[in-house]
Amino acid sequence: MYNILLGGAAGDGIETMSSLLERTLKKSGCYVFSIRDFMSRVRGGHNFAQVRFASEAIAAHRDTLDGIFAVDQTTYDQHHQRLHDRGFILCDVSLNIEDPRAIKLPLKEIAKRLGNPKVMSSVAIGALLKLFSFPLDYALEVIPENLRPDLVDVNLKAVTEGFDAVESQFQVTAKNAKQDLLLTGNTALSLGALAANIKFYSAYPMSPSTTILDYLAAQSAKMNIVVEQAEDEIAAINMVLGASYAGARAMTGTSGGGFSLMVEALGFAGIAEIPVVIANIQRPGPATGFPTRTEQSDLKFVISASQGEFPRMVIALRDHTDCFFQTARAFGLAEKYQMPVILLSDQYLADSAATVAVFDTNGLYSDLFPEKSVPGNETKPYRRYQLTESGISPNSIPGETESLVRIDSDEHDEFGQITESADVRIQMVDKRMNKLELLKKELLEPDFWGDEQCETLLIGFGSTAGAIKEAITILNAQGGHYGALLFGDVYPLPQQKLKQYAALATEMVNVEQNATGQLASLIRENALISCHRSILKYDGRQMSVDDILAGIQNPKGGQLL
């Protein structure tokens, strides 16, 4: 397994270079996991990508590096301490780096000679491939597939020159990922929505959710889906609710700031019982916070957002496979229960690219498309909010039958008419809240990972899952007895496995990318179980496997709640 970093200023093309390199590695059979650490600016500053690749699947990043490609001095200065003793720094001869690990090549001169200074990064890709003993062939395939036609030739020459400029140093064996997918969390999420027959998506651009809008907009004509960039997030969610009322599966995506603007409409979806999927791709807040960085600090917010009480569901996405399948599942649940379903992702998962097995869509249908309910007829007028035992009323679509479909943000009677009746109010609140009882029966318990007889139980949710699993595997290989519960469905909180493993473990540690331990707090409130200590990180940089290992091995380091 190797871990390399590509760094430079914004505008140096690190994103494109990383993407080309990852695709080339994947085509040659490697499993890949890459992350983005980008500043909120278009030019200058310092951006980097980290690419981990191996002969087995990878689900998290590590801190220690085997190689650095430095476009500039800053990249070296900021990261060389993380570089392995036997690692390398690939850079241009012009950089003033006095380090025995440096491999200095005339990257700029080659690029200049080829007629385009920007192809310096392709020269570097060629050199990196050779350093790790990969053939050049796959890069020669990837470049024409991904670059503008007029840029192909010069980049092919560049990658070839880079390849010829160094000698092999490292080897990667047994490569099976050729037929897997390589995609980001947000792309997987978008594909999940398409699999669930999304017909309407509206959003206002906001990092790190914007790539969902970009991807779905690109697929709009081909996939018959209306994609509209709204004037603000309030418009986005109200459009989505209109579309859903009219019978289209609909979703909006945003980050915490945009979600804040959507809060009133979230309650509207609750009281009017309009199915809606809302993807909140978290970033550190409050307010503008860290626009391009990561955090898991919106959990308690999305659970309690909006005035009043109404049912909702929150699913935390743990990895790229979750992004696809749980997003698809969210549409089915939103429609079945006629309630908002909130997907919690974050910048780390949204922007990281991973190799995963091709999503198997066979058998998705029954879960995704619950049976349509039947509207009324002349003798029995249709009641949109008919009182039923489960709390779920028959949901008809305007124009499909002669039944009139009336929904209301005011408290309403069974026909959707405004009411001020105390009795009807109680019936309607009970009816809506009752839907949660049925939902609780089909919640997915958290995944357990590690030693079934664990002494220490780690608790996490969402995107920290990969790093927690890798840390546990390392600890148990060293003779430890560690286990972890990794929550996907997080609200309502599934409690069966939680109670089972909490009874077994002598110590419980919540591992969260926030400052206050929101999951631990939710567990205390709902299951009356307290974690003993926390491993928390809230600097905007995702918790790595190494951070978790350090937190475990330093009991006093964890913040006591």
Residues that bind other proteins (CB under 8 A): 179-183, 187, 191, 194-195, 197, 199-200, 202, 219-226, 228, 230-232, 234-236, 238-243, 245-248, 250, 264-265, 268, 358-359, 361, 364-365, 378, 397-399, 401-410, 416-418
Place of tokens 């124009």: 399
- CA 243 to CA 249: how far, in whole Å? 7
Supply the minimum distance, in Å, between the C-beta of residue 269 and other proteins.
10
What kind and span of H or E run contains 46? strand 44-54
- CA 228 to CA 226: how far, in whole Å? 6
Supply the minimum distance, in Å, between the C-beta of residue 354 and other proteins.
11
Closer residue to other proteins (CB): 20 or 230:
230
Supply the minimum distance, in Å, between the C-beta of residue 350 and other proteins.
16
Query: What angle separates helix 256-272 from helix 233-245, to the nearest 10 degrees?
Result: 30
Closer residue to other proteins (CB): 293 or 329:
329
Supply the minimum distance, in Å, between the C-beta of residue 50 and other proteins.
20
Secondary structure (3-state) at 1:
coil
Supply the minimum distance, in Å, between the C-beta of residue 466 and other proteins.
19
Q: What is the largest CA-CA distance in the chain?
A: 88
- CA 458 to CA 375: how far, in whole Å? 48
| CA atoms in the 13 A half-sphere facing the CB of 546 | 7
Strand ranges inside 93-210, DSSP E? 102-105, 181-184, 200-203
**Phi, psi at residue 279, to the nearest 5°?**
-95, 115
Closer residue to other proteins (CB): 271 or 475:
271
Closer residue to other proteins (CB): 386 or 526:
386
Supply the minimum distance, in Å, between the C-beta of residue 324 and other proteins.
10
In DSSP notation, 81-107 reads GGEEEEEEEEEETTS----TTEEEE-H
- CA 49 to CA 6: how far, in whole Å? 5
Q: Read off the amino acid at residue 264.
A: E
Closer residue to other proteins (CB): 95 or 407:
407
Q: Residues 6 or more apart from 173 whose CB is under 8 A from it?
A: 55
Supply the minimum distance, in Å, between the C-beta of residue 488 and other proteins.
22
The alpha carbon of 92 is separated from its chain's Cα centroid by a whole number of angstroms, namely: 35
Closer residue to other proteins (CB): 76 or 200:
200
Closer residue to other proteins (CB): 117 or 398:
398
Q: Bin 100: left if φ > 0, else alpha if -120 < ψ < 50, else beta.
A: alpha
Supply the minimum distance, in Å, between the C-beta of residue 470 and other proteins.
24
**Phi, psi at residue 496, to the nearest 5°?**
-60, -55
Supply the minimum distance, in Å, between the C-beta of residue 210 and other proteins.
19
- CA 409 to CA 385: how far, in whole Å? 13
- CA 63 to CA 3: how far, in whole Å? 8
Closer residue to other proteins (CB): 358 or 560:
358
Closer residue to other proteins (CB): 297 or 403:
403
